[in-house]
Every structure is written in C-alpha cells, then in structure tokens.
Structure 1
Amino acid sequence: MLHLYRIRYFLLILIIAACGALWPGVQAALKVDNSLSAWFLPDDPALRAYHAFQQRFGNDEVVILAVHDAQPVLTPAYLRAFQSLTRELEALPDVAGVTGPGNTTLPGRGLFSAPRPLLTPTTTAADVRGALLTLPTLRQTLFTPDYTTARFLIRLRQLPDFDDRRGDLLAQVQRVVYRHFPKERAHLGGVGIVYAGLNALSQHDFGLFLGLGYVLMFGVLLLVYRNGLLLLYTLGIVGLATYVTLGVYGALGYRVNLLTVLLPIILILLGIMDSMHVINERNRLHTAGSPAREDALQALGNVFAPCLFTMLTTVAGFLALLSCPMAILRNFGVFAALGIALCLFFTFVLGVLLLPLAKAPARTAAATHVVAHRLVAFYTYLLARPRFYGGLSVLLTLLLAAGLPRLRSDTYTLGYLPTSHQVVRDHRAIEASWGPYMPLELLIEPRPGHTLADAAVVQATFAFTDSVQRLRGVGAVVGFLSLYQAGLEAQVGAKAGRLHASQGALRIVQQQLSRNYPNLTRQFIHEPTGTGRVTVSGRMLSARQLTATVDTVLGIARATLGPVARVRPAGYQPLYAGIVAYVTESQTNSLLLSFVLVFGLTWAFIRSFRLALLTVVPNLFPVLVLLGAMGWLGISLDTATASIASIVLSLCVDDTIHFVYSYQQQRRQGLAPAEARLTTIAHVGPTIVLTSLVLFLGYAVMTLGSLKTVQLFGLLTALAVAGAFYGELVIFPLVLKRFDPE
C-alpha cells in the first residue's frame, strides 16, 4: 500500500483524464433501448429469421389505432377527421403507409373497373354502410359490426437506425393522432408502443435509483460515521465506478435497458460494502496517538486479500451470466462485473488519497464494540443449542424446497408496466372495443407444384382460417386470402364463398390485385419466393401461453394446409415465445457456473477444500430462499429474475469469506476453534451486520420502482439477503462447529 500511496497523485490525474475521455460514452449510455437487439444475440437463429421476414414484408412493428365512441363513428365530423388524420400520417417521412377508413378504396366490379375511394367530402353514414354491405371482409378490417370503433394500421418504415429512433417516431405519430382525437377516444397499441413505454419507465427508474441510492448511502454513512471525508470517500468509490462503467458501456454502443437500469444501485451497494470493510478495519486499528496515515495504510493492507477475493467471487457470479443465451443477460453480467472490479480499484486508490486525512470517530468505535459484544453473546447462546437451531434450519430448508416444484418460467412484457400506465389502459381499451389485436405472423409456403393462387391452396387456407378463429382468444385472421376474398366479394357479393375452388375466378382477382392494389398486395404476397403472409390476431399473452397457442395453430395448419403448403411462424412473436426456453436455460447454466466459479475461487483463496465447502454450501440457503419464495408466491422466472440466483450466491458468500479469512488467521495464531470463532465474530461481525442491513435496505428500495422487473429484482434480492444473514449468523456457525471441532 505504501507504493500505491507514493503514486496517488499520478493515479488521480489518470482518473480525471479517463473521466473526461469517457464523457461521450456516458451520454450515449443514458439513452434507453429495450429493442430486440438489446435482448437477443446477433447470431440467434430466431432473430435472423425475424430479419428475413422483415426483408420480405417490411417492418412488422405496426401501430394499431382504435378510435372508439359510444355512438357510431360515421358522423360527418369523424369521417372528415379520418381523412385528414390519414393524410397527415402519410405525410410523415418515416411512415410507410396507413390502412384505415381514411384512404380505403373500394374494388370495382369488373376486371377493368377502377377502384373508388370509400370516403369523399360528401360521403354520408348511409353511403359507408351501403358500400360495405356487400364487402364484409373489407368492413371487418375497418369497423366493428356496430360501427362504434374504427381501426387504423400505421406501418413504419424499415430504417437502419429504427431501434434508436423508435421513441421519436412513435411520439410523432401520437402527436398527430391526438391533434385529431382526444386520448379518451383514440387508443394506440402494438409491440412498438409497449417498447416505448418500457423505455420511458427504464429511464425514469434509472434516475430514481441513482438518486435513491445516493440518498441511502449519504444517510447511512452520516448516521454511522458522522465524517465528511469518509462520506466523500464512499461517494467517490461508487460515483467513479458507476461513471466509468457507463462510459465504457456507452462507448461500446450499448444503451440502458430493463436490466442495466439496475447497475447504479448494485454498484452503490457493493461500493458501500468495500468501503465499510476498510473504514471499520481502520477504526479498529486506531489507538490514541497513532498516526492516521499508518492506520489507513495498514487497514487497506489488512483487507486487501479478502476484498480482492470477495470481488472475484462476486464478479464470477455476474460473469456466469455469459452462459445465458440472451444478450440482455450477458451484457448485464459483463458490465456489472466491470463496475464491481472498478469499485475495488477505487476503494484502494481513493483510500490512499482520503483515509489518511480522516479522523477515526471514537463514538463509532464504541458502537462497534457494543455490537461485537452482543454478537459474541449470541454466538455463545446459539452454539449451546445446536439441536434446536439445527432442527429449525432443516425445517426452513424443507419448507422452502417444497416451493421449488411450483416454479415456472414465463415472461409477460405488458406485465412489466404498472396497471395504471397509459400503454396498459390503451391496450385494455382496444381489446374491449375492437377485440384481440396482437399479430401472430405466419408464412404460407406452397409445396412444389403449387402456388398461392392455386384453388387447392386457397381452399386449404380458408379451412385453416375457419378452424383457427374458433380458438378462444383469437380475433380476425387476415392475409393474402383476405385479398382474394375481398376481390371475389366485389365481383359476386355473397356468392364469393362458392368461387374458392374456381381457378378462373381466382386468376381474375389476382390480376386485379396486381394492377389496382400493388402496394397492398406486397404486404401479404412476396412474389420472388411465392410466399404468402397470414396474420392471426390474438390477445396479448405471456411467452408460455403464446408458445402453447403457436403449437395449437401449427397443429391446425398441418391438418388443413399440410398437403399443399408448409406453414411456419414468423415476425416478433416467435422470438417472444422462445424466451421461456431461454430463461430456463439461463437459470440453470448461470447458477451451476456461478457455483463452480465461486467454489473454485474460494478454495484457491482459503487453500482448504473442507473450509471452502463449508463456506459455499451454507450460502446456497439464500438461493433456496429466493427460489422457494418465488415458487410459493407464484413469481415466474423471467429475464430479470432468472439472473438473480447466480448473483445472490456470489453476493452472499462475500461476508462468509471475510469471516473464514479472519478465522484462519486466528487459528494460525494458535487459538482453539471455539475461541477463534468468537474472536472472529467480534472482529468482522459488526461489518457483516452493517453491510447486510445496507444491502437489504438498498434492494428493498427497488420495490419503489415503476417497472415490475425492477420491483421483483429488489424484493427477491432483499429476501435473499435476509436469508443470507440468517445463514451467516445461524447455519454457518453450526456447520463450522460440527465440521471443524476442537
């Protein structure tokens, strides 16, 4: 530490220079991105298939607008507003097109008849009803049967920087919509709308937890130490670690998302833990008249080894997330690990700068002595009753283990938002007024010898549609067959169903579509590959529910379309449905890898297989608390909660390592096991109590967040910290006494 002390000003200059260089990265990192590129790895097969779908049919992030009123929306005021809204939306440079009552054209009756607009300046309600009376397929894409709701589909352009600009694009659309209709009558929905809501709340929670974390740290340090320099020391550790981590994060092109919004509070809490171990050791060493510099440097030297290895075990727990198949978890693990390593670095660099200048408060030393005396008394009481507390621990373990079979993997993106959020309210309003609207995209690929316009393929597709629409929660089904049906209805009205088997009639309709509706046709038919698109509208489901629905739909497709075409899911929903498998794999891989890494590092540090095993195994209890509580409370494993178990293991083993390190030192000095245990708890016990309290309160603060992922992460981690505290004060001493006897 003396060498580090001698170059302290050089290190300070390097830190200042690094902070200046990383400022652009910090600015970039603070932009929020919860897009698919943040969730999935670039080489993920499902993501590549999604991009291939977009190349064929364009951007599938369609904004659904439902305009609803208690009375039919066919009044002159509404009809004028529909037309002006459509014109203004189509004028936006990033809108690819709008499908709705404002620009719909009615097909002509003959092969060479030109289409005519549904709405003109003189159109009346009777005109609209009359025009759509013989065109039921077209009517159901525009209005509800009672005409109280009109629907618009707003297609956004496929842009290279679409993910970065999504929020701004949707804000433009919202401003245009709300200029024509009040919020209580115009409801916006779709995947992009949900993403935008998540982005806004992520940014809100990032600022909230950054502020709350510093307030918590400020309050705890002032309450405990009552020293401005010690407060500056800890603020410097976590502030610099957070700043540099975000600077590197942003410089590498990453943006804050649902998980990395948690980075500030994690770094704040772990930075506090490191600083408290150093400060408490300095206070313990201080005696009347002892030089402050020697006390500070000796304290830093004494805690360097255990702090280094607790940092490594914690980093190992976060790096275990690299085994997960999802980008959002991998990036979270990597940059949390970077921030934790930086916390340790700044703990010692700022320690040689500031600690020699800070006085050791006598009041804190006296309070620490009182806590140490009470912990020794508790240990003596506990170890005198091993059967009772051992039996209690076994009972708790069995009770928590009984919750494990109840665990389920699932993700419900809309459920991340508060029920009072505008996105959730609009979603409910659309489903209530229009019906199920979330799209499940299917690709219809005719088998060799068939084309989409073949009567056999068209008939099979209609049979598939009829069967799917009988499923619970399924709304309208539209696609290339809807174009054929609308074209046939324009020719023969109600007799259109009889012509599904007429190859001649289908050929005429196909020619009419290609000539009069080329843009609309391209949305549902990809001519180069002869692939058709069918969109099944359904309720917004969790990933597990969607997986089951997709399996059912594909089963119907095999039974109806199997002989003439191959059907496969496409678009966003297969990615969403695949999250269930990813989450399960992430939980299993990361927890196993975390255990192996933590145990290996602990063994390397302690150099005793038996003590390493005694250190790590009791710390599986907080993991059991976490998973058992999730099972009993019905909390699903999702993208946020799947990462907690490995993190909890690495966090909770830290205090045990400090205990075992001190215990080994006492044993080497010749103390018997019983005496060494009591001396150790008196030495490190007060810091363990204080850091556990800070961790519990810090993670409990996360329940104040807006995002459900943040709330659950905070709640579950706080429960695990409480379980770790019980394991540290009850289970670990019992195990240590049993397997390291006199």
Structure 2
Amino acid sequence: MLYLHKLRYLLLLLIVAACVALWPGVKAAMVVDNSLSTWFLSGDPALREYHAFQQRFGNDEVVILAVHDVQPVLSPKYLAAFWHLTRELEALPAVAGVNGPGNTQLPGRGLAGSSRQLLMPGTTAAEVRQTLHPLPTLRQSLFSDDYRTARFIIRLRQMPDFDDRRGEILAQVQRVVDRHFRPEQAHLGGVGIVYAGLNALSQHDFGLFLGLGYLLMFGVLLLIYRNLLLLVYMLGIVGLATYVTFGVYGALGYRVNLMTVLLPIVLILLGIMDSMHVINERNRLRTPTSPARHDALQALRNVFAPCLFTMLTTVAGFLALLSCPMAILRNFGMFAALGIALCLVFTFLLGVLLLPLAKAPARTAAATHSAASRMVAFYQYLLARPRFFATLSVLLTLALAAGLPRLRSDTYTLGYLPATHRVVTDHEAIEASWGPYMPLELLVEPRPGHTLSDVAVVQATFTFADSVRRLSGVGQVTGFHSLYQAGLEAQVGRKATRLRASQGALHAVERQLGLEFPALLAQFVHAPSGTGRVTVSGRMLSARQLTAKVDTLLQIAQATLGPVATVRPAGYQPLYANIVAYVTESQTNSLLLSFGLVFALTWAFIRSFRLALLTVVPNLFPVLVLLGAMGWLGIPLDTATASIASIVLSLCVDDTIHFVYSYQQHRRHGFTPAQARLTTIAHVGPTIVLTSVVLFLGYAVMTLGSLKTVQLFGLLTAIAVAGAFYGELVIFPLVLKKYDPE
C-alpha cells in the first residue's frame, strides 16, 4: 500500500486518461437495445431458422394498426383518412408495404380482367359494403364483422441496421397515424411495438436507478460518517467503476438492455460494501496520536485479503452466468463481473489517494465500542438458546422448501410493462375490437410429388385452418390457401368453396395471382423452395403457453396435413417459446457452477475444507429463501429472475468470508473458539449489519422501477439479502459453534 501511495498522482493521471479514452464507448452504450441479437446467441439454431425465414418472406416484424369507432368506420371521413394514411405510410423508406383498406386491389373477373382499387376518391360506404359482400375472405382481412374496426398490416423492410433503428422507425409510423386519428381511435400492436416500449422504459429506469443509487449512497454516508471526503471516496469508487464498465461495454459494440440497465445499482451497492469495510477498519484503528496516513494504509492492508477474495467469489457468481444459453444473461454476468473487479481496484487506488486526508468522526471510538457491545450481547443471547434458534431455522427451511415444487419457468414479455403503459392499453384495445392478432407463423412444405397448388394440399390446409379456429384464443388463420379462396371468390362468388376441389380452378387462380398480385403472392409463397406460409393469429401468450399452443397446432397439422406436407413453426414466436427451456437451463447451470466456484475459492482462501463448508453451506439458505419465496408468491423463473440464485450465493457469502477470515486470524493468535467468535463478532459484526441494511434498502429501491424485470430483480434480491442476514447472524454462528467446538 505504501508503494501505491507513492505512485498516487501517476495513478490519478492514468485514471483520468482512461476516462477520456472511454468516453465514446460510454456514449455508444447509452443507446437502448432489446432486440433479438441481445437475447439470443449468434449460433442459436432457433435464431438461424428465424433468419432463414426472413430471407424467404422478408421481415416478419409487422405493425398491426386497428382503427376503431363506436360507429362503423365506413364514413367518407374515415375512408378518405384510410386512403391518405396508406400512401403516407408507404412513402416512409422503412416501410415495405401496407395491407389494408386504403390500398386493397380487387381482382378482376377472368384472366383477362384488370384489378381495381377498393377505395377511390368519392367511394361511398354503400359501395364498399356491396363490393366486399361476395368477397368474405377479403372483407374479414380488412374489417370486423360490424365494420366498426379496420385493420392495417404495416410491413417493415428487412435492413442491416433495423434493430438499431427500430425505435426511430416506429416513431415515424406513430406520427403518421397520429396525423389522421386520435389516440383513442387508432391502436398499434406487434412484437416490435413491445420491444420499443421496453427500450423506452429501459432507458428511463437506467437514469432513475443511476440517480437513486447515488442518492441512497449519499444519504447513507452522510448519516453514518458525516465526512465529505469519505463521501467523495465512495462516490468515486462506484462512479469510476460504472463509467469504465460502460465505456468498455459500449466500445465492444454492446448497448443497454433489460438486464444491463441493472448494472449501475448493482455496482453502486457492491462498491459500497468493500469501501465500508475499509472505512470501518480505518475508524477502528484510528487513535488521536497515530498519523492519519498510517491508519489509512494499515486499514487497506488489513482488509485487502478478505476484500480480494470476496470480490473473486462475487465475480465467480456473475461469471457463472456465462454457462447460460442466453446472450442477455451472459453479457450481464460478464460486465457485472468486470464492474465488481473495478470496484475493488478503485477501492484501493482511491483509498491511498483520499483516505489519508480524511478525518475520522469525533465519536468513532465510542460509537464503534457501542455497536460492538450490542453485537456481542446478541451473540451471547443467541448461543445461550441454541435449541430454540435451531428449531426456528429448521421450521423456516421446511416452510421455504415447500414452495420449491410450486416454481415454474415462464416469460411474458408484455407483462414486463406497467398495466397503464400505452403498449399494453393498445394491445388490449386491439384484442377487444378486432380479436386475437399476434401472428404465429407456420411453414408448409409439400412432400415429394406434391406442390402447394395441389388440391390435396390446399384442401388439407383448409381443414387444418378450420380445426385451429375452433381453439380458444385463436382468431383468423390466413396463408397461401386464403389467396386461393379469395381468388376463387372473385371469380365465382359462392361457388368458391366447391371449386377448391378443382385442380384446374386452382391453377387458374395461381396464374392470376402471379400476374396481378406478385408482391402479395410472395408474402405467402416462396417459389424457389415451394414453401407456403400460414399465419395463425392468436392472443399474446407467455412462453410456456405459447409452447403448449405450438404443440397443439403441430398435432393438428400432423393429423390434417401430415400425409401431404410437413409443417413447422417459424418466425419470431418459436424463439420466444424457447425462452422457457433456456431459463430453466440457465438457473440450473449458473447455480451449480456458482456453488462450485464459490466453494473452491473459499476453500483456497481459508485453506480449511471444514471451514469452507461451514462458510458456503449456510449461505445456501438465502438461495432457498429466494426460490421458496418465488414459489409461494407465484413468481416464475424468467430472464429477470433466472440469474438471481447464483448472484445471491456469491453476494451473500462475502460477509461470511470477512467473519471467517477474522475468526481464523484470532484462532492463529491463540484465542479459544469462543474467544475468537466473540472478538470477531465485535470486530466485523457492525459492518455486516450495516452492509446488509444498505444492500436490502438498495435493492428494495428497485421496486420503484417501471419494468417488471427491474422490480422483480430488486424485490427478490432484497428478500434474499434478508435471508442472508438471518443466515449470517443466526444459522452460521450455531453451525460454527457446533462444528468448531472448544
């Protein structure tokens, strides 16, 4: 430490230079991105399938616009608005096309017939009704049965920078819609709309918790230490660690997302823990006669070893997330680990710079002695009643364990948003006025000897669609078969259903579609591979519900289309459904790896297998508290909660390591186990209480966030910290007394 103190000004210069060099990365990191590339690994088979689907049919991230009124929307005012809206949307560079009443082309009769637009200047409501009456398939794709709702499907272009520009593109679409309709008339929905809402709230919560975290730390320090220089010391630690972490994060091409929005508060709270151990040790050593520099450097030397190993165990817990099959969790774990390591570095670099200059509070000795006396009194009270507290601990363990079977894995992306958010209210309005609308894509690949236009394939697809529509929560089922039906209705009206059995009629419609509507045909038929697309409109489901729905659809497909074609899910929804399996795997892998790494590091540090077990095993109690509480409260394992167990284990073992390190030091100096325990609890006990309270309050503050991911992460971590506090002050002393007796 003395050597670092001599180099303190050079170190300060290096820190400033690093901050200047990393500024571009910090700016780049502040752009929020919750796109698929953030969630899934680049080599994920499901992601490759999704990209293959996009290469065939273009960007499937469509925007659904529903225009609704209490009266039919066939008035001249609405019809004119539909026409102008469509043209303005089609003029946007990022919009590939619009399917809706404003630009619908009506097929001509016969192969020589020419198509015409549904809406022209001056078209009346009666003319629209009359035109669409013999075309039920087309009408159902444009209007609700009562004509009070019109639907537009806004198709977005497939672009290399689409994920980066999503928010900007959707804002352009929203502005065009707002020019023609009031918010209560027009509602936007779709996967991209949800992403954009999550991005906006992620940015909001990032700023909120950055501010709240520093405010919390400022208040705690001001209340406890009443020293401006100590305040600068702790703010500097977490500020620099956060800044450098995000500088590296952005320089490597990453952007803030649903998980990394939590990094500031995580680093703030963990940065506080080590610095509080340093400050409390400095205050304990401080005497009126000893030089301030000597006490500060000695305190840094005394806590270096335990702080180093607590940093390593915490880093190990976060790095355990690298075993997760989801990119969003891996990146969170990797950069949280980097930030925690930086917190330790800056704790000691700034410590040699600032601590020698900081005066200890006038009442330090008295306050420290008072806190130590209360801790010793509690410890003696606890150890005098081992049976009572052991029984209480066993009952708590059993009650929490009973909640484990109730745990389930699931993710509901829309549920991350507040119930009053416009994305949620628009979604509810669309479902109420139009019905289920979220697209689930299926690919139909004819078996050898068959093509999409074969009677057998078309008829089987209609049978499949009819069966699927009977399922709960399913709306329209559209696809290549719908094009044939709409074409036949334009040619023969009510005879269309009967003529689906005519191979000649199907071929004629296919030729007409290719001549008059090639762009529309390409949306549902990929000619090079002969693959057809069927879209099942359903309710927005959780990942578990969607998995069950897909399984049901595939069973129906096997029964109806199986003899003539294979059917498989495609598009975004299969990726979403895979999250359930990924979350379960993430929780299991990261927790087991975290336990192994933490135990190995603790054993290496303590150099006693028995003491390492006594240190780590009681700290499984907060993990049990976490998982048991989730089971009893009905909180599912999802992307927000799958990572917490491994983090909690590594986090909560920190204070226990400080206790065991001090305990070992006293035992080596000839103290009996009882003397070592009492001396240790007097030494580190007040800091353990203080850091636990700060951690609990800090994570509890996260419940003020807008995103459910942030709220749940904060709530559950706070619960786990409370469990760790009980484990450290009750379970660990009982276990230590029993297995390290006099």
- The verdict on a shared fold, with TM-score over 0.5 as the criterion, is yes
Matches within 5 A, 1:390-539: 390-539=390-539
Query: For residue 578 of structure 1, what is the amino acid of its counterpart?
Result: N
Report how far residue 527 of structure 1 moved: 0.4
Report the counterpart of residue 635 of structure 1 in structure 2.
635
Report how far residue 122 of structure 1 moved: 1.5
Distance in 2 (CA, whole Å) between partners of 1:6 and 1:591 is 42
CA RMSD for the aligned pairs? 0.5
* TM-superposition CA deviations, 1:406-452 (whole Å, max 9, x none): 00000000000000000000000000000000000000000111100
Matches within 5 A, 1:94-105: 94-105=94-105
Report how far residue 11 of structure 1 moved: 1.0
* Secondary structure of 1:641 counterpart: coil
Report the counterpart of residue 623 of structure 2 in structure 1.
623
Distance in 2 (CA, whole Å) between partners of 1:718 and 1:105 is 59
* TM-superposition CA deviations, 1:147-194 (whole Å, max 9, x none): 000000000100000000000000000000000000000000000000
* Secondary structure of 1:642 counterpart: coil
Report the counterpart of residue 646 of structure 1 in structure 2.
646
Structure 2 residue runs without a partner (length 5+)? none
Matches within 5 A, 1:590-739: 590-739=590-739
Matches within 5 A, 1:274-423: 274-423=274-423
Report how far residue 79 of structure 1 moved: 0.3
Distance in 2 (CA, whole Å) between partners of 1:400 and 1:630 is 10
Query: For residue 734 of structure 1, what is the amino acid of its counterpart?
Result: L
Query: For residue 356 of structure 2, what is the amino acid of its counterpart?
Result: P
Find out whether 1:265 has 2:268 as its counterpart: no
Distance in 1 (CA, whole Å) between partners of 2:474 and 2:309 is 55
Mapped contact 2:440–2:537 kept (Cα < 8 A): yes
Query: For residue 583 of structure 2, what is the amino acid of its counterpart?
Result: V
* Secondary structure of 2:532 counterpart: strand
* Secondary structure of 2:642 counterpart: helix
Structure 1: which 4+ aligned runs deviate by more than 3 Å?
none
Report the counterpart of residue 170 of structure 2 in structure 1.
170
Distance in 1 (CA, whole Å) between partners of 2:32 and 2:85 is 30
Query: For residue 65 of structure 1, what is the amino acid of its counterpart?
Result: L
Distance in 2 (CA, whole Å) between partners of 1:73 and 1:369 is 78
Distance in 1 (CA, whole Å) between partners of 2:650 and 2:619 is 9
Report how far residue 675 of structure 1 moved: 0.8
Report how far residue 6 of structure 1 moved: 1.1
* Secondary structure of 2:393 counterpart: helix
* Secondary structure of 1:670 counterpart: coil
Mapped contact 1:314–1:337 kept (Cα < 8 A): yes
Report the counterpart of residue 92 of structure 1 in structure 2.
92
* TM-superposition CA deviations, 1:527-579 (whole Å, max 9, x none): 00000000000000000000000000000000000010010000000000000
Report the counterpart of residue 23 of structure 2 in structure 1.
23
Matches within 5 A, 1:136-155: 136-155=136-155
Query: For residue 657 of structure 1, what is the amino acid of its counterpart?
Result: I
Distance in 2 (CA, whole Å) between partners of 1:179 and 1:33 is 28
* TM-superposition CA deviations, 1:578-601 (whole Å, max 9, x none): 000000000000000000000000
Query: For residue 90 of structure 1, what is the amino acid of its counterpart?
Result: E
Give % identity: 83
Report how far residue 363 of structure 1 moved: 2.0
Query: For residue 681 of structure 1, what is the amino acid of its counterpart?
Result: I
* Secondary structure of 1:541 counterpart: coil
Find out whether 1:116 has 2:116 as its counterpart: yes
Distance in 1 (CA, whole Å) between partners of 2:210 and 2:203 is 11
Find out whether 1:252 has 2:233 as its counterpart: no
Distance in 2 (CA, whole Å) between partners of 1:218 and 1:610 is 40
Distance in 2 (CA, whole Å) between partners of 1:530 and 1:28 is 43
Query: For residue 624 of structure 2, what is the amino acid of its counterpart?
Result: L
Count of aligned pairs: 742
* TM-superposition CA deviations, 1:83-137 (whole Å, max 9, x none): 0000000000110000000000111111110011101112111100000000000
Mapped contact 2:284–2:364 kept (Cα < 8 A): no
Distance in 1 (CA, whole Å) between partners of 2:366 and 2:573 is 61
Structure 1 residue runs without a partner (length 5+)? none
Mapped contact 1:224–1:364 kept (Cα < 8 A): no
* TM-superposition CA deviations, 1:359-412 (whole Å, max 9, x none): 111224322221111110000010011000000000000000000000000000
Report the counterpart of residue 241 of structure 1 in structure 2.
241
Query: For residue 402 of structure 1, what is the amino acid of its counterpart?
Result: A
Query: For residue 234 of structure 1, what is the amino acid of its counterpart?
Result: M
Query: For residue 606 of structure 2, what is the amino acid of its counterpart?
Result: I
Choose 145-154 or 490-499, whichever is displaced more.
Answer: 490-499
Mapped contact 2:325–2:586 kept (Cα < 8 A): yes
Distance in 1 (CA, whole Å) between partners of 2:364 and 2:551 is 63
TM-score by length of 2: 1.00
Mapped contact 1:64–1:190 kept (Cα < 8 A): yes
Distance in 2 (CA, whole Å) between partners of 1:373 and 1:635 is 40
* TM-superposition CA deviations, 1:679-718 (whole Å, max 9, x none): 0000001110100000000000000000001000000000
Report the counterpart of residue 12 of structure 1 in structure 2.
12
* Secondary structure of 1:529 counterpart: coil
Mapped contact 1:382–1:389 kept (Cα < 8 A): yes
Find out whether 1:50 has 2:50 as its counterpart: yes
Distance in 1 (CA, whole Å) between partners of 2:616 and 2:275 is 24
Query: For residue 679 of structure 2, what is the amino acid of its counterpart?
Result: T
Distance in 1 (CA, whole Å) between partners of 2:87 and 2:162 is 23
Report the counterpart of residue 183 of structure 1 in structure 2.
183
